[in-house]
Each structure stands twice: as C-alpha cells, then as structure tokens.
Structure 1
Amino acid sequence: MRRLLIALPLLLGACAQTAELEPAAGETLPPAPYGATEPLDAEELLTLDPQAAPERSVELRRESEEREDDPFDLPPEI
C-alpha cells in the first residue's frame, strides 16, 4: 500500500508530455497543401479552421416571434 502511494504521484507526473510533437518512427508528416512551399508543422496541422469548428450562435428565438413555415415539417405517413 505504501509503495502504491509513492509510485502513484511518479506515474501521474510522467503522463504530461512537454516535448514537441513529432511523427511516429518510420512515419512522415502529410504532404504540403497545394500551393504551399513547405509542409505544415504539427502545431499548424492541429489548428482547426473556422469551417471545421464554427462559432456557436447565442441568439435565441423568442416565443412572441412568428416562426417561418418549414417545408420539411410534414405529417407522418399513414
């Protein structure tokens, strides 16, 4: 039990990676995008573009607003 209490903080401390990201052994980074002069580094590859992660709209509908007709709101088929 005592060994576990000593080993647990050491194991948890070893979990954090502080080194730069590198491709796995024998692997390379993806090729450069069309028109780019050099391939992107790992940090640039992990950055999402706005279309991949759009900002959320916080505008709420109010109950007093008249809703537009929805052409896809069809009654169930019988």
Structure 2
Amino acid sequence: MIHRTTSAIVAVLLLAGCGQRTDLQPTAGQTLPEAPYGATEPLDANELLALDPQAAPERSVELRRESEEREDDPFDLPPEG
C-alpha cells in the first residue's frame, strides 16, 4: 500500500515538471513562415498560434431565467410510418 502511494506521488511530481513554459522558437535549421501578404514583418510564434475569431467565436448564448413555452417548430415532424 505504501509502495503504491509513493509511486503515485512520484508520478504526479514527474508530470508536474513536464509543463515547462518558455518562448516558442523554431527548431534548428527551420524558420518561421513568410510574412502574410501586405505585412511588413513576419508573425512571431505566439501570433501564429492565436486563433482568429471565426475559429473560436465568443459565446453569445443568453441563459433563460424563467421557464418559457417553446415556439412551434415547423421541422419537428412525427416519424413516417
């Protein structure tokens, strides 16, 4: 039992050390992509990783605070048969 607990603690500590955060750099012999058309300088690694608004839209869902009757749905048809 003690051996299993010790192993679990060691595993958690090893996994915690894997989250090293440093600035991203291209690997040796590689360069960042060329600058986009019309840009004066190439984008850095963080700018290349940023999602555009269409890829990750903000939520615009308004939560309902009270029960409301559902509107009639013309596409909610009974099964054929």
TM norm structure 1: 0.60
- State the alpha-carbon separation in 2 of the partners of residues 52 and 43 from structure 1: 16
| 1:74, distance to aligned residue in structure 2 (A) | 7.6
For residues 12-46 of structure 1, give each alpha carbon's deviation from its aligned partner in whole angstroms, at most 9, with x where no partner exists.
46423233110011111111111000100011111
SS where residue 35 of structure 2 aligns? coil
Gap change, CA 1:74 and 1:24, over 3 Å in 2: farther
Aligned positions, number? 74
* Root mean square deviation of aligned Cα: 3.5
Aligned to 2:22: 19
Q: Find out whether 1:37 has 2:14 as its counterpart.
A: no
Against the structure 1 CA distance between its residues 47 and 13, is the aligned structure 2 distance closer, same or farther, given a 3 Å change threshold? same
Query: Alignment partner of 2:43: what SS?
Result: coil
C-alpha separation between the residues in 1 aligned to 2:51 and 2:58?
12
SS at the partner of 1:43?
A: helix
What TM-score do the two structures reach when normalised by structure 2? Answer: 0.58
Q: CA offset at residue 57 of structure 1?
A: 2.5
Aligned with residue 57 of structure 2, among 49, 54, 59 = 54
Runs of 4+ more than 6 Å apart:
73-78
**What 5-or-longer segments of structure 2 have no aligned partner?**
none
